[in-house]
């Protein structure tokens, strides 16, 4: 069971309260999308789950196990960062040596043929063209870097996959493909996925449930239909409607 629970979690940076007494339950194998305005605490929430930040108060659980004092490397959590965080000196793919895609497999001592097979499978899933395999990050576009970052995060199946606005720089045609592949991977590997985005169309297309945040706290959690058609208050309604033009016509409110 890879359920994620945050129980009354607070995180401060000096006088700034980034996450404020936040309680949230993410079901095992659920795809939860967190939305909200900039500065509302979305990314800090992901970093608390990953162990990249320590809560000032409250508890973080994964699979029923308290994670507050568990090292990042032992949580079984992989994260896709908006800054990519790729190894600058490594190529995209190299089944014989260390590369951005093979690194997680090499450190787990996978054999060469198995590494190659898995990297090719992942590359196809996220749309990494063969012509990019020998390139280093400095030779990639922003969208290409993003695809490699997503590929590296899923090359070894995580207990929990955290994605911080991973499609920000991906072009629209590839965005639809990557969106489909992210959902396909989520379903195939039965992982719990928590995804942060500003893109309401992505949220509506991907989420089992959506959590709307404001000022470090969760305002409403519900299915896309509930968030859209039954907003809890004027903030949720206003936030959703501000992105209404980007939603498919079938989602838009009718008079």
Residues 152 and 163 in one domain: no
Share of the chain above pLDDT 70, in %: 95
Classify residue 81: in a domain, yes or no.
no
pLDDT computed for residue 255 by the predictor: 36
Mean pLDDT across 56-61: 98
Residues 251 and 128 in one domain: no
Last residue of a domain, one of 133, 157, 181: 157
Residues 71 and 177 in one domain: yes
Among 16-20, 161-165, 199-203, 246-250, the range scoring the smallest mean pLDDT is 246-250
Residues 187 and 140 in one domain: no
pLDDT computed for residue 154 by the predictor: 85
Grade residue 252 by pLDDT with cuts at 50, 70 and 90.
low
Residues 10 and 104 in one domain: no
Give the 3-state DSSP-derived string for 144-173, with helices as H, strands as E and coil as C.
HHHHHHHHHHHCCCCCEEEEECCCCCCCHH
- Look up the domain containing 96 and give its range: 86-157
pLDDT over 90 at 40, yes or no:
yes
- Residue 82: count of CB within 10 angstroms of its CB: 16
Among 31-45, 58-72, 103-117, 218-232, the range scoring the smallest mean pLDDT is 103-117
pLDDT over 80 at 24, yes or no:
yes
pLDDT over 70 at 13, yes or no:
yes
pTM (2 decimals)?
0.86
Residues 175 and 235 in one domain: yes
Mean pLDDT across 179-198: 84
């Amino acid at each position: 069971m890879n359920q994620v629970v945050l129980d009354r979690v607070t995180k401060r940076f000096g006088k700034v309260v980034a996450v404020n007494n936040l309680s949230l339950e993410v079901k095992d194998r659920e795809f939860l999308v967190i939305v909200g305005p900039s500065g509302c605490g979305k990314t800090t929430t992901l970093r608390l789950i990953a162990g990249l930040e320590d809560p000032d108060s409250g508890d973080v659980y994964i699979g029923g196990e308290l994670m507050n004092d568990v090292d990042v490397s032992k949580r079984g959590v992989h994260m896709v960062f908006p800054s990519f965080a790729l190894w600058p000196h490594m190529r995209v793919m190299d089944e014989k040596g260390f590369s951005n895609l093979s690194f997680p497999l090499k450190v787990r001592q996978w054999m060469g043929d198995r590494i190659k097979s898995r990297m090719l499978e992942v590359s196809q899933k996220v749309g990494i063209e063969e012509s990019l395999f020998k390139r280093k990050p400095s030779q990639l576009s922003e969208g290409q870097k993003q695809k490699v970052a997503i590929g590296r995060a899923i090359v070894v199946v995580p207990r929990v996959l955290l994605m911080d606005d991973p499609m920000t720089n991906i072009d629209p045609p590839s965005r639809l493909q990557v969106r489909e592949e992210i959902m396909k991977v989520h379903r195939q590997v039965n992982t719990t996925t928590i995804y942060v985005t500003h893109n309401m169309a992505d949220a509506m297309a991907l989420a089992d449930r959506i959590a709307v945040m404001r000022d470090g706290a969760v305002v409403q959690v519900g299915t896309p239909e509930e968030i859209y058609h039954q907003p809890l208050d004027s903030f949720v309604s206003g936030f959703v409607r501000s992105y209404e033009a980007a939603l498919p016509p079938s989602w838009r409110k009718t008079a």
